[in-house]
Amino acid sequence: MLKPALQFLKRRWWIPVGIVVIGGITALSMQEHPLEAEVATVGIGPVEQFLLEEGKTRLDQEYTLTLPVAGDMPRLKLEVGDWVQQGQAIVTLRRFDRTQQLAGLKAQVQEIAARQQGVVTQIPTPEEEQMAQGRIREAQNQLAQMHQQASAQQLELQQRERTLERQQRLYADQTIPQAEYEETAKQVAVLRKQVTQAQLQITQGQQGVRNAQLALAKLQRNRRDQQYLKGVYQAQAQQLASQIALKQDELQQGVLRAPISGPVLEVITSQAGPQAAGTPILKLGDPHSLSVEADFLSEEIPQVKTGMPAEISGKALGDKKVMGQVSRIYPSGFTKISALGVEQQRVKILVRLQALDLRPGTRVDVRVITAAKAKTVRIPERALFKQDGQWQVFKVNASERAELQPVTLGLKNENWAEITQGLTAGDRLITQLENTLKPGALIQTKTQASTKDK
C-alpha cells in the first residue's frame, strides 16, 4: 500500500508548484498600475474670446449705369465678370441726328448774327441825333426872330394907324393937304400887309420847329425800335446758344463711361435699338469697397460692438488670414432656418477690410474677437470638465497622482481657457480625459506639453 501511495505523490508534484504560481499571480494582481496620460504644464499666453460664423464677401459700393440721354444704342459687348477701367466707354450712342441738329442750330446763329449787324447799321448815331437837335434849335431861333420882327411891325402899324386917324380929322378940316393924308394911308396899308406876311412866316416857323422836333422823335423812335430788334436778336442768339450747349452736352453724354475700375456685376440692357433716357444698362462694383457680411445669433449680438477686430479666413484664402473691423450691426434681426431645420433669430453684421483679393459672394469664415488678453494664465480647453456645476481639471500632484482641482474661468474659446483662480503657471494637469481616470490615480506621463506663449 505504501508504495502505490508514493507513486501517486510523485505523479502529483505539480500541485505545490501550482499553488506557488497562483499565489504569485494573486500578489501581482493586487499591485497598482499607473495610467498613461497626456500632461501639460500651465503657462502664460494670449487668450481670445470670439464668435465664429460663416460669411460671404460683398461690395458696399455698387454703381448702376443709366443712359443720361435718349438715343439709338448699339449692342452691348460686355458680360458679367468683365473688368472695366475708369473712364472706359461703355456705350456710345449713335450721333448722326444730334450732329445734324447741332449744325442747324449753328447756321441759325450765323443768320441771327447777320440780322444783328443789319440792325446795328440802322441805329441812328449820336451825331445824327445831335444834328437833329441842332436843327430844332435853329428853327426855334428863327421863330423867335420872326416874333420879334412881327412885334416891331405890329407896333409900327399901330402908330401909323393912330397917325392916319389924326390926319383924317385934319384932312376933313382941310388943315393938311390931301397928298399927305394919302401918303400916310398908303404906309398903313403897306404895314398891314407886312404884319400879315409876318404872321404867315411865324406860322411857317412854328411848323419848321415841329418838323425838326418830329425828325428828332423819328430818329429816337428808330433807335428804340432798332435797339428792341437788337435785343430780340440777342435773346434769340442766347436761346440758340443754350440749345447748342444742350446738344453738345447730349453729344458728350452720348458716351457712357465707367465711373470706377471694377467688375461688371450685372448686365441689365444689352440689346441694340432706341433707348429712353434713364434706361439702366449695367451694374459695376467698386473692388475697394469689399466687405464681409455674416449672420450671428441674436443672443450673441450683445457681445459684438462696432470697431471690434474680426479675422477672416477660409478655403478661398488658403493659409492666409485677413484682419478687419466690425463696421456695422444691423438694427433688426430676421428668422433663418439652419441646416438642421432649426428656426433661429439672427442679426447681420458687416466687417470692413483693408484689402482682400476675393470676388463678391465668396464664402469665408468670420471670427469676431469680442475680448482678448495678451498675457494670462491659460490651459487647453480640452482639459476642462464640469462637475456639480463647477469647472474642474485633473491636476497632477507631486506624488504623480491625479487630483480634482476646481478652477474659475475668464476668457474662453475652442482652444484655450483663461484661469483666474485655481491654477498657477508651472502646475501640471491632464489634458486627455479618459473614462478610467479617477481622483488618486497614479499617472504616467505619456506626452509632455506646455501652454506657454511661444
SS (H, E, C) the chain: CHHHHHHHHHHCCHHHHHHHHHHHHHHHHCCCCCEEEEEEECEEEEEEEEEEEEEEEEECCEEEEECCCCEEECCCCCCCCCEECCCCEEEECCCHHHHHHHHHHHHHHHHHHHHHHHHHHHCCCHHHHHHHHHHHHHHHHHHHHHHHHHHHHHHHHHHHHHHHHHHHHHHHCCCCCHHHHHHHHHHHHHHHHHHHHHHHHHHHHHHHHHHHHHHHHHHHHHHHHHHHHHHHHHHHHHHHHHHHHHHHHHHHHCEEECCCCEEEEEECCCCCEEECCCCEEEEEECHHHEEEEEEEECCCHHHCCCCCEEEEECHHHCCCCEEEEEEEECCCCEEEECCCCCEEEEEEEEEEECCCCCCCCCEEEEEEEEEEEEEEEEEEHHHCEEECCEEEEEEECCCCEEEEEECEEEEECCCEEEEEECCCCCCEEECCCCCCCCCCCEEEEEEEEECCCC
| CB count in 10 Å sphere of residue 376 | 17
Question: Measured between alpha carbons, how far is 251 from 96 in angstroms, rounded to an integer?
Answer: 10
- 443: CB partners within 8 A, 6+ apart: 34, 35, 37, 39, 396, 400, 401, 402, 430
Please say whether the dihedral angle defined by the alpha carbons of residues 441, 442, 444 and 445, taken in this order, is positive or negative. positive
Ranges of the chain whose pLDDT falls below 70: 1-32, 96, 98, 119-120, 448-454
| pLDDT, position 244 | 84
Burial class (CB in 10 A: 0-12, 13-18, 19+), 58: middle
| pLDDT, position 325 | 93
In sequence order, the β-bridge partners of residue 365 are: 54, 313
* Nearest of 102, 98, 104, 81 to residue 255 by alpha carbon: 98
Amino acid at 79: E
The two beta strands, 343-353 and 322-329, are: antiparallel
Whether 305 contacts 325, CB under 8 Å:
no
pTM of the model as a whole: 0.54
| pLDDT, position 6 | 47
| pLDDT, position 418 | 94
216-222 LR contacts (CB < 8 Å, sep 24+): 216/129, 216/132, 216/133, 216/135, 216/136, 219/124, 219/128, 219/129, 219/132, 220/124, 220/129, 222/122, 222/123, 222/124
Whether 270 contacts 76, CB under 8 Å:
yes
Q: Output Rg (C-alpha) for the chain, integer angstroms.
A: 61
Residue at grid coordinates 491654477 = 423
Q: 64-91: buried (b, 16+ CB within 10 Å) or exposed (e) per residue?
A: ebbbbbebebeebebeeeeebeeeeebb
Please give the C-alpha separations between residue 55 and each of 52, 359, 415, in angstroms, as whole numbers.
9, 13, 22
Question: Measured between alpha carbons, how far is 434 from 76 in angstroms, rounded to an integer?
Answer: 68
Question: Measured between alpha carbons, how far is 31 from 38 in angstroms, rounded to an integer?
Answer: 23
First to last CA, the chain: 85
Report the length, in residues, of the chain. 454
Question: Measured between alpha carbons, how far is 388 from 390 in angstroms, rounded to an integer?
Answer: 6
Whether 236 contacts 332, CB under 8 Å:
no
